[in-house]
Amino acid sequence: MPNRLTMPIGEAMFSQRAIRRLKPDPIKEEDIRLMIEAAQKAPNGGNNQPGRFFVMNDPAIISEFGKLYHEAWWAKRKDEGFNSAEDFPKEHKTHFYAMKLADEIKDAPLIILACAIKAGVDNSVFPPVQNLLLAARALGIGSTLTTLHATVMERVHKLTGIPEDVKIYCCIPMGYPRGNFGPTKRLPSREITFFNQWGTAPPWS
């Protein structure tokens, strides 16, 4: 099963960027399976495996879900004090890209909701999610890790049939990229790393 994930791990990690502009081409079911089975291999507390994957690849449900995602995305922006695109700081381009995704997600070929059978198990959900995203990258499939908003959750549960006691942790639209994978900008590691005492820079700084 793992043998199609042949990309060197460094290449996958160092070229994993948020891909928000997606082609409509469908993702093969065998690729969805491989991504999920890679995800399952990540650590989880006590091997209790609380994680569940809710896959949407039916255009009808994606179209309905897309409306809720759009509403959720703007609800998050309003929480931040932004009422329209004119309010976004011009230098922070991510808002504009993410706004576009909120418009276009209704046409994504694949959306996966990472869920768990209980709340408070983020440390058993997000390592698998990262495996899912890296496996996608290795297969040439783009993805973005996004969240929803309380204002739409009841309707998301109703639309998907996800029981109320199953928590939805994040929403991952996926598809072949329009545009390219590539490097991301991060702080120098010396600024976020401490050795043996807080405030002590690493030896490579």
Nearer to its own copies, 64 or 71 (CB): 64
Longest dimension (CA), the chain: 54
* Residues numbered 79-138 forming contacts with its own copies, rule: CB under 8 A: 94, 122-123, 125-127, 129-131, 133-135, 138
Segment 17 to 56, residues that bind its own copies, using CB under 8 A: 18, 29-30, 32-33, 36-38, 40-43, 45-47, 49, 51-56
Asked whether 114 and 170 are in contact (CB, 8 A), the reply is yes
Is 193 a binding residue for its own copies by CB under 8 A? The answer is yes
Evaluate the CA torsion angle 1, 48, 132, 22 in order and state its sign. positive
Short-list 70, 117, 111, 104, CA closest to 178: 104
Instruction: Out of 23, 74, 75, 145, name the contact with its own copies by CB under 8 A.
Output: 145
> What gap in Å lies between CA 189 and CA 105, rounded to an integer?
34
Structure tokens at 86: 């004119």
Instruction: Please tell me whether residue 185 binds its own copies under the rule CB under 8 A.
Output: yes
Q: State which of positions 154-183 bind its own copies (CB under 8 A).
A: 160-163, 166, 169-170
